[in-house]
Amino acid sequence: PALARGTMAGMGGRQSGAEIYTYEAPWLVYAMNWSVRQDKRFRLALGSFVEEYSNKVEIITLDEQRREFPAEPTHRFDHPYPCTKIMFVPDTEGTSEDLLATSGDYLRVWRIGDDGVHLKSLLNNNKNSDFCAPLTSFDWSTTNLARVGTSSLDTTCTIWDLEKETVDSQLIAHDKEVYDIAWGGPEVFASVSADGSVRVFDLRDKDHSTIVYESPTPDTPLLRLGWNKQNPRYMATMEMDSSKVVVLDIRVPALPVAELKKHRAAVNTLAWAPHSSRNICTAGDDAQALIWDLSSVAQPGEDGMDPMLAYNAGAEISQLQWSATQTDWIAIAFGKNLQVLHV
């Protein structure tokens, strides 16, 4: 289904007639994501950002009758350090266990029950050392639910087998810290790094990687990576402290297909539409979440294309996720707030 045009347009301040639900946490929100199960509509997980060891994760569900997120103390639990990312198991059918994964000092998998959330596995690849290199991000394979890839400050990416709780492979992925990782197929993943490159890896040929893009500004880190699930030719990334998002076609390395330039401050986060290869949402320090239609990239205007929808949150947006099962809903985090928006 095409995105309805204009439901968010002109909402800056007025937010007229748009469906928006807000949850205020007791702490700054950083990591956040949607549940993907069909039978758990409007369920999300969010993680605190507190600059100390003790942090929290909370699972909340919108009460659609009362139009609010009731507190669920049974589904709030302690987490060492802030999570850098949270994901529910990407199982739309609900046939697997109800699981949640978090990254921070280690990768942890949690089992969600009616009575609360319990640690299922703690995955640590540095068994012989007290030192752990923090994980910056991870991605859970949608084609093989036993497979998760993590990215680390120690320049590696690690592919875990969750069923065996063992490392499937560990690759030195970059010359510097790896900041994000994304699957593009059953055996293929990509990562971005402080070395300014986007690299693609194939687990069937671990000795080689393909550099599909390098930041034009030397020594400028690439922070986030989104791989288009509907059309794996396309990826998106952005430089640290940049207001521009770069859209890549991996068949044409080095040359971006589009540069999205309408943010007025640094972009922090991006998400491809899970149901349409044309649409991407970006958000950042200018308090804006912008939805773009890339079907017109062939004929961009002089100063680049305009977004099709804009939403102003009123504060810097740190996180953004597009619901895979309710594809007309986007979640954003800013300050202590999590907000779900109907687009």
In the predicted structure, residue 321 carries a pLDDT above the cut 60: yes
pLDDT in tens, 42-73: 999 999 999 999 999 999 999 999 999 998 99
Instruction: Convert the pLDDT of each residue in 109-127 to its tens digit.
Output: 999 999 999 999 999 987 6
CA distances 200 to 104, 206, 247, 253, 262, Å, are 23, 11, 15, 11, 28
Mean pLDDT of 147-155: 97
Whether the per-residue pLDDT at 40 is higher than 70: the answer is yes
What contacts 24+ positions apart, CB below 8 Å, involve 18-23?
A: 18/341, 18/342, 19/341, 19/342, 20/339, 20/340, 20/341, 20/342, 21/62, 21/67, 21/68, 21/69, 21/339, 21/340, 22/337, 22/338, 22/339, 23/60, 23/69, 23/337, 23/338, 23/339
Question: Within 10 A of 163 (CB to CB), how many other CB atoms are there?
Answer: 11
Q: What is the pLDDT of residues 268-314, one digit of tens each?
A: 999 999 999 999 999 999 999 999 999 876 554 456 789 999 999 99
Q: String of b and e for 265-286 (b: at least 16 CB within 10 Å)?
A: ebbbbbbbbbbbbbbbbbbbbb
Distance, CA of 60 to CA of 332 (rounded, Å): 14
> What pTM was computed for the model?
0.93
Tokens (6 digits) for 266: 């640094």
Asked whether the predicted pLDDT for residue 5 surpasses 60, the reply is no
Query: What mean pLDDT do residues 204-230 have?
Result: 94
Q: Which run of H or of E encompasses 175?
A: none
CA distances from 263 to 6, 66, 259, 260, 287 (A): 18, 35, 11, 8, 9
User: What is the per-residue pLDDT for 299?
Assistant: 52
